[in-house]
Structure 1
Amino acid sequence: MTTTTWILSDVHLRWDRPERAERLARFVERRDPSRDRLVIGGDLCDFWFASRQSHTEPPDQPPRCLGLRSLAGFVASGGRLSLIAGNHDQWLNHYYQRVLNTSFTPEPWVETIGGRVVHLYHGHRIGRPPFWKVAMESRRFLDAFRVLPEPFAVGLSQRLDRNNDRTRLEDDRRVLARYQAYVQTHARQAHLILFGHIHTPVFHPARDDVFPPRPSWAVLGGWQTQSSWLRLDDDPDHPPCLVVE
């Protein structure tokens, strides 16, 4: 029986953005646990969820988030789920163990699928991120954000969103340059290299007209406004397919 691996990244689930959970649930419900495998390349949940919302759920109840409930159902039905820790959800391993019966897999995630060696990285550790972003990803910051009064937490979150929107194009340009350099450095180790972290999905086919030859590589993400995933079949005659909808 042919197995299909579906790879996605950067869904950024949070309770005040229910449309993300609804789109993820629709995606998961179309998968067959007996022949489909799901791989998530980091930031399944947003820092808001990681710091504030995961702490409020009763430990003996199913997850409140529809997207997480759909993943839990997929796993409970025998489906295989692999998770990489992103910069937003790197402190949620115990939570994912409880609600999804799944622990983080070491980065990079490496598998041979359909004769292709596939490397998957979240990407936030490639290069040197700004100091303030490193500080915000610390456990100390998340613990502090969790106890902020709601109006202050909302205000800070909105300010961060505005700052990210203002600098997104330049930030993405810098990160993509790091990814391209990484692909060149690891060209002989993989047929397909996948990243997350930035939120513009794109697929670059392999190139044999450069030296060394460059493998295929892609950036996954974009779940803030749409859905995207990469499909990999065990059949080597079926090339990787990036879907954005």
Structure 2
Amino acid sequence: MEAAKNRKTALVTGGSRGIGRAICVELAAAGYDVVINYRSDEAGARQTLAEVEAAGAAGEICRFDVRDGAAAEQAVADIGARVGGIAVLVNNAGVVADGLFLMMSREKWQSVIDTSLGGFYNLTRPVLETMIPKRAGAIVSISSAASLMANRGQANYSAAKAGINAASRAIAAEVARLGIRVNVVAPGLIETDMIAAAPKEQIKSLIPMARIGRPEEVARVVRFLCSDDASYITGQVISVNGGMF
């Protein structure tokens, strides 16, 4: 992807499907060129790229594992060298490995923490380093309703996402005077592969709006938080959950 004149670049982790794909397309439609990170689903990433380009933006796919700090730092450096810097970072990559805590293996615990919370650190720190000299930038991380309410069987996921909430608030306070905004979006039940096997009719009865959300509804909030319309919003966790709580 060549650096485009008068256009800003967004890096979205976990952009090959679901909420990540919707965010990539929404940011493309809003005028950003988009770097689509993925770990293994190249076909999905290429589909996202096609949708980004159809929205009128330039894009590229970028394969690395967000758990690998060295790979993340190298990717940030390479992207910056090509396009002149990252204006927007969206930390979306995450995994689930559900199970009751007493029966949860260390491997299940660590895999979720390393991807969601470790990935947040691995991308946010080097991207912040590039934003600070420019005194501009927006970072939005995707958390979860599970970070704000009890959800049996998701102690690892809840811990990782709650960590993102707290870290984002602290970082927002640190960099607010430098023109950088840091926020979180916490989706509720959204129609993605992650809930494909869930009892959807039963779930709907727990949601005041009586329906499951769409990835695009999350993506629009992310787009807003990245825009100048949100110029006085930082350190916030915005729930997108149909009124669940």
Pick 1 or 2: higher relative contact order, CA cutoff 8 A, min separation 6: 1
Greater fraction of residues in helix: 2
Is the shorter-chain TM-score for this pair beyond 0.5, marking a shared fold?
no
Q: Which structure: larger Rg?
A: 1
TM-score between both structures, scaled by the size of structure 2: 0.36
TM-score between both structures, scaled by the size of structure 1: 0.36
